[in-house]
Every structure is written in C-alpha cells, then in structure tokens.
Chains A and B, each alone.
Chain A
Amino acid sequence: MNAGRRDNDQPLLSVRNLAVTFQLRGQHAAKAVDDVSFDIRAGQHVGLVGESGSGKSVTSLAIMGLLPRRGVRVSGEVMFDGTNLLSKSRGEMSALRGRDISMVFQDPMTSLNPVIPIGIQVAEIIQRHFNASKSAALERTEELLARVGIPDPRRRLGEYPHQLSGGMRQRVLIAMALACEPRLLIADEPTTALDVTIQAQVLEVLKKLVADTDAALLMITHDLGIVAGLCDTVNVMYAGRVVESATRERLFAQPQHPYTGGLLESIPKLDSPRGAPLRPIPGSPTQVLPWSEGCAFAPRCGNRTEECTARTPDLDPAGDRHLRCFNPLSRTAAEARR
C-alpha cells in the first residue's frame, strides 16, 4: 500500500490488532479476540464469518464500545473516519452510536424493550440524534416502518413487541438502526433467530435499506450463504483471530485455509450427487489450541503438520488475499496432483 493512494482510499473503518481479554475476579484471563485487523470502505459490504465462540460478536461490541468496562480489556485500534474509537470518552461514543454507527442484534425477541411501544423505541433514537420533536420523530418512524415493510405502520406505532412476530420485530430493529442513516451498520447474525422462510425476507429488507442509505455494512454471520449473496469481501475468524480474508469471489472459488474449506464443504449443495455425505468439520470449536502454542485450528485440521503445533502462523498477504496458514489447501492440492 503506497502513501499516494491512501487519501482517496482511506477506509471508513479500520480495525488494527484489536484484542479483547475477559478477566473476571479470581478467574483466568480469557482472550476472546486476539489480533484482529480488517478494513471497511464507505459503502462496502464486509462479512465476518465464524462459528459461535470465534469472537465475531465480541469484535462488533468492541467496535461499538458496548463491552462492559469492568473485567474487560480492549487493546489495538478502531479507526473510524480518522479517529480512534477506543480512545473516545463515554459521552462521545454515545453521541456517535446510533448516528454514525449502529447495530442490529441477533435476537429480535429479546432486543426490544417489552414494556415500551415500538413507535417510541424507534422515535427515541431520532429524537436523540436529530433533536427532533416527538411528533416529528413519530412521523418519521411511521415512514421508516413502512419502508421496512411493516403493514399499517400508523397503528403499529402504539403496539408492544409481544404483539409482533419475530420477523416484524427484526424489521423494527432494522428500521431503528437505520433511522439516522448511519455510515456503518453492524448486523450481528440478524436472521439466525428467525424462521427460514422469514430469513430471506428480512435479509432483503436489510439489503434494500443499506443500499438506499449508502451505509457500509459489517455482516456478522456463521452462514456462508448469506455472505455469498451480500458481501464484497469476507473475513473468516477462528478462535479469536482472522484466519483468511479475501474477496467473495476468490474465497468461494478457491478457499485456502483448511477451516474455510471445511465451512464450504459442510454446506449442502444442490449439484452434488444424491446420497453424497455432507462433510462436517471434525471435532468441535471447543477443541482449540491456544494461539501462543501454534495454530488454534490444528487439533481439527486435516492438513496439520508438525509445524502447525510448533509455531504460530501469521496473517500473511498471499496474492490478493490474507491467510494465516502453513499448509493452505492450494499447496496440498498441488502436492496431491503431483
């Protein structure tokens, strides 16, 4: 990367060496996120993919400044629009949240306040950031609800979350997150808790609104299918670190990290012969080697060599992608061919 191109190409969000350590009284420190770096440019859609426990949600909460202050240590840099969010005060972060960066959470059943009408819950974010009157905010809310496809939005304003279905609630949360037209939207598994039939609808709504508002999107998911239909570039996380990042096309066409390969292989495909077994990744995400002792994926990896448990691989640029692996799939494939 040369300095000349940097100015016009400065990313909107640049996460550098982000690390999050949980340290509760009387317990061992646990590193949930370790040395995570990635960029998002304005309007770009970026995927952050991994199994549960890989640290992707913690990463998003760290960017938002929503991790509890006690017992959590965050280090590294989260540059947003040229300033480091990690060094901002609580008040500065609160003024920025909802207006410049906002978030859609995983579970619509629990993410809305059960005792407050949904209209108020959407309107309050507009009142807060645009200094709008309550009636103006409610008017805008009605408009937003209509845009996320909620029928009869005026009546819905006064309803409570329990009167809405899960899909409707998630639409409300999307309307809420995009109410102030933020420049970055973080969506943390926004469809995981929904019925499969509803998932696609909600995803469409999300996609449309993100496109309409020109927001950049950080899509956090374990579902490569969602990534395939939505993201420009993809970061794959394992055990708190990014193990591979590439453009969507490159990643799906030629996965290099054995973990990425495993994720792709475990998706059922329509064109595979009938009766062909799915190939899940062996073992479970709890079988992890500490990164300090080698590659965390080594215990489950088919490409493991002695090197993998002796040294820690770095996230190296490899062509047009970044990869943290000693024995990428391309090399083993080449060896097999030979």
Chain B
Amino acid sequence: MLRFVLKRIALMVPVLLGLSVLLFAWVRALPGDPARALLGERANPESIARVTERYGFDEPLLEQYLRYLGALVTGDFGSSIRTGQSVTESFLERFPATVELALAALLFAVLVGIPVGYLAARHQGRPLDTIVMSGSLLGVATPVFFLAILLKLVFADWLHWLPTSLRQDARIDATHLTNFYVLDGLLTREWDAAWDAMVHLVLPGLALGTIPLAIIARITRASVAEVLNEDYVRTAESKGLTRRLISRRHVLRNALLPVVTTIGLQAGLLLSGAVLTETVFAFNGMGEYLFDAIGQRDYPVLQGFILFIALIYALINLLVDLAYGLIDPRVRVS
C-alpha cells in the first residue's frame, strides 16, 4: 500500500514540474516588460525596479526558473501585486471556506445522485428513468453561475428563506479556530454559529452540487445497469439470495467503482465551479479571491493559484485511487 502511494506521488512530480515550467513561461509571455505586465501600466519606475529585482527578470532565464522553483519548494508561491500579501498565506486563510463549500456540494451530489441513479437503473425504460435522465441532462447544461443566480433570486431575494451571501451572519459572535465555520461551531459548542454556517452553505452548495449530482446520477445509472447484466448477479440470483442482499452486496459494490472515479474527476469541476459560485454569493473563499485577482490582473496570485489547485487536484485523485483500491481487490494486489 505504502509503495503504491509513494509511486503515485512520484508520478505527480513530473506533471507538477512541467506545470511550473509552463507557469514560469506564462508570466514571461505576458506582453511587454514582465515587471510592467505584473504591475500594470501606471506603475512607477521604483516599483518596477523593485519587482525586477525580486523576480530577477534581468537574469538568465534558467537562473530565474531555478529561483522560482526554489521558492515554490519552500512554500513561497509569490506575493500579491495589489496587497503585497503572501499568496500562500492568503490561500491557507481562504482554503477552508472553499473546502467547506465543495464538501457540502459533493455531499449533496453523492447522497442524492447515487440513490437516484440506482433507482433509474432499476426502472430502465420506465417513466422514472426518463425523468431522471432528462433531469440530469438539464442539470449538466445549466451553467453554475446561472443556477447560483437563480437560486439566490428565488430563495433569498424573493422568499427570504435563506441568506443571500457570506459564510455566516455578521451578528453572530463566533470563535474561529480552524476557519471551517461549521466545524468551528461544533468544536466550540456554539451551536447557533454552526447552524448559521450550515444555513449559509445551502444555496451555494446546491448551486455547486447540481452538475456533479447530474453526472453522478448518470454514471451510477449506467454502471448499475451494466452490473445488473453481469453473470455474477445471475449467479447470486440462482442462489436464491434476497433482493436486498443482491442489491447491496453484489450490485452496488461493483457499480460504485466507476462512480468513485467520477467523483474524483468532479474535484476539478468543483474547484473551478467554486470560483463562480463564491462570486455570486460573496462567499469569502479562494474563488472570490481568484475572481478579484483576474479582475485586477494580479498575475502572481493567478500563477500561485493554478499551481495550488493542480496540487490539490492531484492529491484528490490520489485519494480516489486509494478508495478504489479499498473497494476493488483486483487493484490492491497489482
């Protein structure tokens, strides 16, 4: 098991190195003098000189890259042009918010998507199946940000059932230990704070979770439908096992294998979807931070962000592979 993990991590290294080269080249590919591109047209000569010095833009490219790489390895992802704040720090501060949102969305997608997909497969070709399948296509086709706007309009602005924005009501005096607001509320036993944080997660979570939900439901349906045709399910039936046992032990366990892979692939979708969702709900996470960075062309932030996302993405897929191994013994051995 350990060897497998180490091997996977070793495989990640060249990809991340390649990405760092691209990102390095990316800032240098910006039109004009890189320092000026970073600082914008209105920058004064002093700050340009300072940035040129800091990033070593006047040195040979290889040296510049090694310097960049060295900084990355020590966890220095650069600092924001606008605020001067360290990119790494800003991320770590905002990361919990995005994780909380992504997990809420994923929970919603998995808890609804798998049962719905399973039912659809069991009712193949009948009305329930048709409804689920067409609903899921609609879900895939609806842009995240439009759905977010729509949900906000209906449930927050019109019906006033749920909050329009932010992660927690400003009037609540909550203690923040980890910056995972729900977790903080539970840890400090500030139940109202935890509840309020959860309430604030509902709309963004629904918006962000809908596309993964649709995809998970479709994959589950296809996968269950395929497994139901497998010989070993017929064997289980020939043994006279109860329907419940056949579903749980023989169908679902096998059918979930592709679903687990899909969930891993959704991670990228969730991360980029979070950028859009957080923008709509003023949910103070990485997404909103990135949105501001794009608006102001804060390249070091963008550069760091992309690398950071790639790293997280790779780790998530590693976790998914491990989970896969837990379910499928064939992978475990090899």
Contact = CB atoms under 8 A, between A and B. Distances in A.
Direct contact, A vs B (beta carbon within 8 Å) = yes
A72 interface: no
A319 B169 CA distance: 94
The residue in B234, B235, B242 that gathers the most chain A C-beta atoms within 10 A of its C-beta is: B235
Given A66-B234, A110-B232, A116-B253, A99 B329 contact: no
B333 A163 contact: yes
Contacts of A25: 125
B236 A129 contact: no
B254 interface: yes
Contacts of B254: 113-115
B71 interface: no
A173 interface: yes
A103 to B, nearest CB: 5
A99 B238 CA distance: 10
A162 B238 contact: no
A150 B243 CA distance: 30
B231 interface: yes
A102 B238 contact: yes
B218 interface: no
Given A114-B328, A115-B328, A116-B253, A128 B232 contact: no
B49 interface: no
A128 B235 contact: no
A96 B241 CA distance: 10
Nearest to B126: A70
Nearest to A112: B232
A22 to B, nearest CB: 15
Contact of B239 (A93, A107, A125, A163): A125
Interface string B233-271: 011111111110100011001100100000000000000
B240 A129 contact: yes
Given A113-B254, A115-B253, A116-B250, A176 B231 contact: no
B241 A162 contact: no
B231 A107 contact: yes
A186 to B, nearest CB: 9
Interface in A23-43: 25
Interface residues of A, number: 32
A173 B330 contact: no
A124 B333 contact: no
A115 B236 contact: no
Instruction: Give the dominant DSSP class at B's interface.
Output: helix
Contacts of B231: 105, 107, 110-111
B227 to A, nearest CB: 10
B230 interface: yes
Contacts of B154: none
A105 B236 CA distance: 11
B239 A102 contact: yes
A97 interface: yes
Contacts of A129: 240
Contacts of B245: 124, 128
B329 A115 contact: yes
B327 interface: yes
A94 interface: yes
B143 to A, nearest CB: 35
Given A110-B231, A114-B254, A116-B250, A128 B242 contact: yes
A95 interface: yes
Nearest to B328: A115
Interface string A123-152: 011001100000000000000000000000
A64 B231 CA distance: 15
Nearest to B235: A111
A179 to B, nearest CB: 9
B238 A103 contact: yes
Nearest to B243: A94
B333 to A, nearest CB: 7
Interface in B160-212: none
Contact of A125 (B241, B250, B328): B241
Contact of B230 (A103, A110, A125): A110
A114 B230 CA distance: 11
B70 to A, nearest CB: 46
Contacts of B230: 110
A326 interface: no
Contacts of B328: 114-115
A47 interface: no
Contacts of B232: 110-114
Which of A70, A94, A105 has the most chain B CB atoms inside 10 A of its CB? A94
Interface string B83-116: 0000000000000000000000000000000000
A105 B239 CA distance: 12
A98 interface: yes
B235 A173 contact: yes
A85 B203 CA distance: 54
B330 A94 contact: no
Contact of B238 (A64, A113, A115, A160): A64
A16 to B, nearest CB: 23
Nearest to B327: A115
Interface string A74-118: 000000000000000000011111110011010100111111100
Nearest to A120: B249
Given A113-B232, A116-B250, A162 B329 contact: yes
A94 B236 contact: no
Contacts of A96: 240
A93 B238 CA distance: 10
5 contacts: A94-B243, A103-B238, A114-B232, A128-B241, A160-B330
Given A97-B239, A113-B235, 16 more contacts: A94-B241, A95-B240, A96-B240, A97-B238, A98-B240, A102-B239, A105-B231, A105-B235, A110-B232, A113-B249, A115-B253, A115-B329, A125-B240, A128-B239, A160-B330, A173-B235
Closest 8 CB pairs of A and B: A98-B240, A97-B240, A110-B231, A98-B239, A113-B232, A160-B329, A125-B239, A111-B231
Interface of B: 125, 230-232, 234-243, 245, 249-250, 253-254, 257, 327-330, 333
